Amino acid sequence: MTTAVADRTLNALDRCDRCGAQAYVRVVLESSGGELLFCGHHARAVEAKLRPLASDWHDETSRLQEKEAVLAD
């Protein structure tokens, strides 16, 4: 079941576990298969500690730049 969840694109209903902002990073922990969601800011803050413990690090922060480009047009 973890694989099906990890393959799903994050959307506006997915919220950061730290602050409640929209999540753009999903981390699946290797030991438990548990899932953590983070906004871009908090993902960068915990990446050094969590990346070695993760079986999957799904990062969609590039979507933030796409939104900025659309707003600039």
Instruction: Compute the CA torsion angle 13, 19, 24, 26 (nearest 10 deg).
Output: -90
Does the pTM exceed 0.75? yes
Name residue 55's beta-bridge partners: none
Q: Tell me, what's the pLDDT at 68?
A: 59
Q: Which residues of the chain have pLDDT under 70?
A: 1-7, 67-73
Q: Tell me, what's the pLDDT at 44?
A: 97
Percent over 90 (pLDDT), the chain: 74
Identify the CA nearest to 50 among candidates 19, 17, 21: 17
Q: Tell me, what's the pLDDT at 12?
A: 94
Q: Tell me, what's the pLDDT at 70?
A: 61
